Structure 1
Amino acid sequence: MFSSLDKFPLKTILIFLIAILSMNLTYFQHSKVLLNNHQKEKIKLVTSTISAEMGKQSEVEATYDEMLGHELRTASIVIKKSLHPDFHQVTNEQLVALAKELNIGGITLFERQGDDLIGVRSSDPKEINASSKTWGIVYSAQLQLTDRKSVDVGTGLTLENFWSGPIDTASTDEADIRKWGEFYDGTTNYLINPYLNVSSSLEHYRQKVGVDVSIQELLENNEGNLIEIGVLNPEKIFDKSPTPNNRSSWYSERFLLNGSYKYRDGIEESKIKEALAKNSTVFYNVNLNGTNILKSFTPMVTTNLKYKRDSLPKVVMVATDYSQIEKTLHHQFREVFIFMSIVTLLVCVVIIVMYSITRKKNEGAVKTVQDVYLANINSIVQSIKEQRHDIINHITTISWMIKLKKYESLQDYIDPLIQEAKMMDNKIKAVEINIPALSGIIQAKLAQSELHNIDMQVDFKNMENLRLTTIKTTDLVRIISNLIDNAFDATIELPATERKINVEGIVQANQLTIQVQNSCNPVNPDIQTRIFDSGFSTKKGKNNKGLGLHIIKQLIERYKGKIDFTTQEAGVTFSIIIPLKHEK
């Protein structure tokens, strides 16, 4: 019997060590899976945020792009009526003066010479003798116009005798980003090519509310985890052929559309192809400069982002520092290992002490000693099981919350976010106005109201009966946007639950009526008599010059309309009536 007892402590300790090692390995693998899944879900959330921002930006830019196209067509008609139909009778100086008068970037006249179009007169000397043969879809559109055909190149705005393409880099000045129009009605021996310089306006927009701003905010809020986000044009990574006229630097030919992409690797091309083929996110790990990085590529299907009809979807790239996960795992494993080692040592000491005691007992007492020993072992094992259970629960919880900074569970976070995005999307889609520019500004303000937790309601009726020229459309946008901005400024001072704005518009009885009502703090009666005075403002700050409402009133009076300002207990209301019979 003592022979069997001699082997007892060694066998028990060995079995116990194997059990401890198995628990540690199981826990480590479980934690690794949890952290990996958490990281991938976080990447998907980031990608969804960027995709939503890209969608919003593309919708707004599409509306802005179409508005510019209509403006260029109007300018083209004015140019045609202002110039001699024979370009030989037109001077470059005339085009310079006319471009300045129309407040556009410049004008170039192209002559059709066989299968080419050559710039023969221009307000920009660099455009003279320029050939459009290497300009891709612009060249195709010019050929179709001069052949007296309706333009069909898969993109851009096509109107009668006119086509306007997407915003792009100027071939004669790569520092400039422009919006061109192409006009030809057969009454001249030249094609009219007016353009607008949009570099500063695009840059200003994207610095304020564009996708790059959202990317920067995500990186700052997730510093140490997210290391890079980029929106890519996959066609450029697949296209190995040289581009004419250094087109790789053109606005439409960029590989990187937003964000940055410094962490390049040798298998990215195959991973992008895989993501496009599956139309889903592809994850993979790669070691770059000694750093283990988890990268992902996600296709983003948005029609408004396509430059050509057959363009591939854009791809959102997200790179995270996977070494942070490894550090967390190693830290957790080390803590558990130390704890388990201490417990194991204590158990081994107990076993050895118990064994020493049993050897001093007589054979008659061995059974009793064994019973006591086994009872203690069971108690210790049960205690270890309970402590292990608690430790795993605590550490598992920490692993889920480690990067969430003590927020609710990830799923609880994602669900309301998705629901909110869907509600906003439905709210924007519900606004149907047949005037692109007006629809664009209303949708942009709706998106802005969401950011400020403002309950903004919009109701436009009978707008299909409204027929305005481009200039009147511009004035209408200025009027409504100024009124809504004023409403934002007043409403945002209230608690989030009290912020309300109602915008209503209707065309009836040969007049356009617009009302903008908003909640606000109590209004001083003195304001009502001075609200439209030049220089008067209730806003604080050096940049508030008090010109907004004064300018609005002047615009409305120009169209023989009137504007009223009334106060109620719940807020204020601006009412506008513009008679349509005075439309010119």
Structure 2
Amino acid sequence: MFSSLEKFPLKTILIFLIAILSMNLTYFQHSKVLLNNQQKEKINLVTSTISTELDKQSEVEATYDEMLGHELRTASIAIQKSLHPDFNHVTNEQLVELAQQLNIGGLTLFERRGNEFIGVRSSDPKEIGANSKTWGIVYTAQLQLADRKTVDVGTGLSMENFWSGPIDTASTDETNIRKWGEYYDGTTNYIINPYLNVSSSLEHYREKVGVDVSIHELLDSNKGNLLEIGVLNPEKIFDKGPTPNNREKWYSERLILNGSYTYRDQAEESKLKEALEKKSTVFYNVMINGTNVLKSFTPIETSNLKYKRDDLNKVVMVATDYTQIEKTLQQQFREVFFFMSIVTLLVCTVIIILFSATRKKNEGAVKTVQDVYLDNINSIVQSIKEQRHDIINHITTISWMIKLKKYESLQDYIDPLIQEAKMMDYKIKAVEINIPALSGIIQAKLAQAEVHNIDMQVDFKNMENLRLTTIKTTDLVRILSNLIDNAFDAANELPITERKVTLEGVVQANQLIIKVHNSCNPVSPDIQSRIFESGFSTKTRKNNKGLGLHIIKQLIERYKGSIDFTMQEASVTFSIVIPLKHEK
């Protein structure tokens, strides 16, 4: 039992299992990468859609912004012509009436007091006394206008004696989003500041068209996968401190420009900074409220983001549910594991079957070789017995001749025996080949030839270059043994004086060439044509155990070799050519 386990190909199965496991792990990892890439590709597609919508929205907003700017300039000129150049002669009631006539949201007159601008008259009481010094670029624009310079603050609409600021939250009324204009031509002691209320129009626009509509449609069509989409103002993530006059509530200062952003995490600032530095999408996984979320930040270049302190681009944030990928991977892993188990079981079964079949085949081959050796050993034993009997007879004869003092006759009797012994020794030395099995079989056949009174000559050359594998050695023994036995059978049909068998072997041109020549009775052409046919034999012995020339030919051809024969009147020669492997 234990010897069988030692022979069992456990290493082969283990190597196979490791190979299968490695391939499946590689396949699983490849699938994971593929699914991740597919998910990222979906995110990129979503981001691309939002980017396109942002471009469209930017164009629409720029056109809308410019149109409102021109409208405010026209209103400013009309206001300047309608009012006294000294605000002291202007009343708030006049401004209310004028705003209604011009169909604008309202207007305020700002007086310059040193480096400050104070609201001195307004259609809105909340604006009276307002100081614009904390209003950022609005204050800068007023300074430039008061100094009779062309306004250059990096944003808004700049025209002669006029500048229109971006749409933003009113500092005096955070419930209103307005569009302002600033007008000063040097003929008045105040700056005219008309404005339009745009909250309702912006809300209407966002409900019907624009980025928010696209975000809503994308989320609806990708439920269960897309969690959230938001267009962000990145400076609000980086700016953690308070802003002047509570400006974090201003329209231009908002963090979320479009969509929503509730999936917040501690790594967002560093990841957003990385995306802005690389100017490309950054992906990362994070656990948020027990959900594995795959988030991305993608910088988008647009021209309508107001108050860009550090020239930062808008950023599109996409959050997706990574648990869907995990479920897919788990399912795939179960399928791969099941497949691997089935394949492993099948392959192990095949290996066991092949192992058993190969072992039986090898055992059969070994048994066949053993049978050949046993036959030849029996022949050797029989030969030794006969030679022992002959030696006893020779010794008895020599003993009597010595007693009778027939010395001359004794010498004549001994000389042939010595010559015969020398000849046998020469034949044995002639077959000293570096492959013991081959050398042994030939010496056994020499002994058999001696028993059957067959004159067997052996001539092997260049055999030191002979290199064979184990299976080739056993097959060569079988081939050679059967050919020599066939030669003996044919020679035995002749008188003793005519029984001749010659065995020649040589290694040349990386080939083993063997020739078996024997004397025989004439062979008819019919027998010659059928000599390699399956099942054909000229032997009449019932206990014939030879392979047959057909099987011998198949065995030789298995090694890409060839066998042929030439027939003469009273002899036949079989020639074998077997190619040898090159030694490295």
Question: Normalising to structure 2: TM-score of the pair?
Answer: 0.60
Residue 34 of structure 1 corresponds to 34
Confirm or deny that 1:317 pairs with 2:326. no
Post-superposition Cα deviations, 1:225-268, rounded to whole Å, max 9, x if no partner, equal 22111111111112233101110010111111111111111121
The CA deviation at 1:309 is 7.4
> Which sits farther off after the overlay, 98-107 or 9-18?
9-18
Give, in whole Å, the separation in 2 of the partners of 1:62 and 1:334. 55
The CA deviation at 1:15 is 2.8
Q: Which amino acid aligns with 1:51?
A: S
Alpha-carbon contact 1:155-1:309 (below 8 Å) kept: no
Alpha-carbon contact 2:73-2:183 (below 8 Å) kept: yes
Give, in whole Å, the separation in 2 of the partners of 1:366 and 1:108. 115
The CA deviation at 1:128 is 0.8
Confirm or deny that 1:185 pairs with 2:166. no
Q: 1:366–1:167: structure 2 CA closer, same or farther, 3 Å change rule?
A: farther
The structure with more radius of gyration: 2
Alpha-carbon contact 1:154-1:309 (below 8 Å) kept: no
The CA deviation at 1:108 is 0.8
The CA deviation at 1:365 is 6.5
Residue 229 of structure 1 corresponds to 229
The CA deviation at 1:350 is 5.0
> 1:181-260, aligned counterparts within 5 Å?
181-260=181-260
Structure 1's unaligned 5+ residue stretches are 369-584
Confirm or deny that 1:332 pairs with 2:327. no
Alpha-carbon contact 2:166-2:306 (below 8 Å) kept: no
Q: Which amino acid aligns with 2:161?
A: N
Q: 1:145–1:209: structure 2 CA closer, same or farther, 3 Å change rule?
A: same
Secondary structure at the counterpart of residue 169 of structure 1: strand
Alpha-carbon contact 2:164-2:180 (below 8 Å) kept: yes
Alpha-carbon contact 1:107-1:194 (below 8 Å) kept: yes
The CA deviation at 1:165 is 0.5
Q: 1:240–1:358: structure 2 CA closer, same or farther, 3 Å change rule?
A: closer
Secondary structure at the counterpart of residue 305 of structure 1: coil
Q: Which amino acid aligns with 2:137?
A: I
The CA deviation at 1:340 is 2.1
Give, in whole Å, the separation in 2 of the partners of 1:53 and 1:136. 29
Q: Which amino acid aligns with 2:301?
A: V
Confirm or deny that 1:268 pairs with 2:288. no
Q: Which amino acid aligns with 2:340?
A: M
Q: 1:46–1:366: structure 2 CA closer, same or farther, 3 Å change rule?
A: farther
The CA deviation at 1:289 is 2.1
Residue 299 of structure 1 corresponds to 299
Give, in whole Å, the separation in 1 of the partners of 2:303 and 2:362. 89
Residue 163 of structure 1 corresponds to 163
Residue 94 of structure 1 corresponds to 94
The CA deviation at 1:28 is 0.3
Residue 289 of structure 2 corresponds to 289
Q: How many residues align?
A: 368
Q: 1:151–1:6: structure 2 CA closer, same or farther, 3 Å change rule?
A: same
Q: Which amino acid aligns with 2:186?
A: G
Residue 142 of structure 1 corresponds to 142
The CA deviation at 1:221 is 1.4
The CA deviation at 1:220 is 1.4
> Which sits farther off after the overlay, 336-345 or 69-78?
336-345
Residue 56 of structure 1 corresponds to 56
Alpha-carbon contact 1:229-1:316 (below 8 Å) kept: yes
> Which sits farther off after the overlay, 294-303 or 69-78?
294-303
Residue 67 of structure 1 corresponds to 67
Q: 1:353–1:249: structure 2 CA closer, same or farther, 3 Å change rule?
A: same
Post-superposition Cα deviations, 1:91-128, rounded to whole Å, max 9, x if no partner, equal 11111111111111011111111111111111111111
Give, in whole Å, the separation in 2 of the partners of 1:148 and 1:359. 107
The CA deviation at 1:7 is 3.5
Q: 1:188–1:360: structure 2 CA closer, same or farther, 3 Å change rule?
A: closer
Alpha-carbon contact 1:167-1:179 (below 8 Å) kept: yes
Q: 1:363–1:97: structure 2 CA closer, same or farther, 3 Å change rule?
A: same
The CA deviation at 1:159 is 1.0
Give, in whole Å, the separation in 2 of the partners of 1:209 and 1:162. 31
The CA deviation at 1:344 is 2.2
The CA deviation at 1:305 is 2.7
Alpha-carbon contact 1:169-1:251 (below 8 Å) kept: yes
The CA deviation at 1:171 is 0.3
Alpha-carbon contact 1:155-1:308 (below 8 Å) kept: no
Q: 1:159–1:359: structure 2 CA closer, same or farther, 3 Å change rule?
A: closer
Q: 1:160–1:23: structure 2 CA closer, same or farther, 3 Å change rule?
A: same
Question: Normalising to structure 1: TM-score of the pair?
Answer: 0.60
Secondary structure at the counterpart of residue 33 of structure 1: helix
Q: Which amino acid aligns with 1:238?
A: F
Alpha-carbon contact 1:232-1:314 (below 8 Å) kept: yes
Alpha-carbon contact 2:292-2:321 (below 8 Å) kept: yes
The CA deviation at 1:331 is 0.7
Give, in whole Å, the separation in 2 of the partners of 1:293 and 1:278. 22
Q: 1:259–1:7: structure 2 CA closer, same or farther, 3 Å change rule?
A: farther
Secondary structure at the counterpart of residue 133 of structure 2: coil
Residue 174 of structure 1 corresponds to 174
Q: 1:185–1:232: structure 2 CA closer, same or farther, 3 Å change rule?
A: same
Give, in whole Å, the separation in 1 of the partners of 2:92 and 2:266. 52
> 1:507-522, aligned counterparts within 5 Å?
none
Alpha-carbon contact 1:230-1:258 (below 8 Å) kept: yes
Alpha-carbon contact 2:141-2:151 (below 8 Å) kept: yes
Give, in whole Å, the separation in 1 of the partners of 2:361 and 2:310. 90
Residue 414 of structure 1 corresponds to none
**Percent of aligned pairs with the same amino acid:** 83
Higher relative contact order (CA 8 A, sep 6+): 1
Alpha-carbon contact 2:253-2:307 (below 8 Å) kept: no
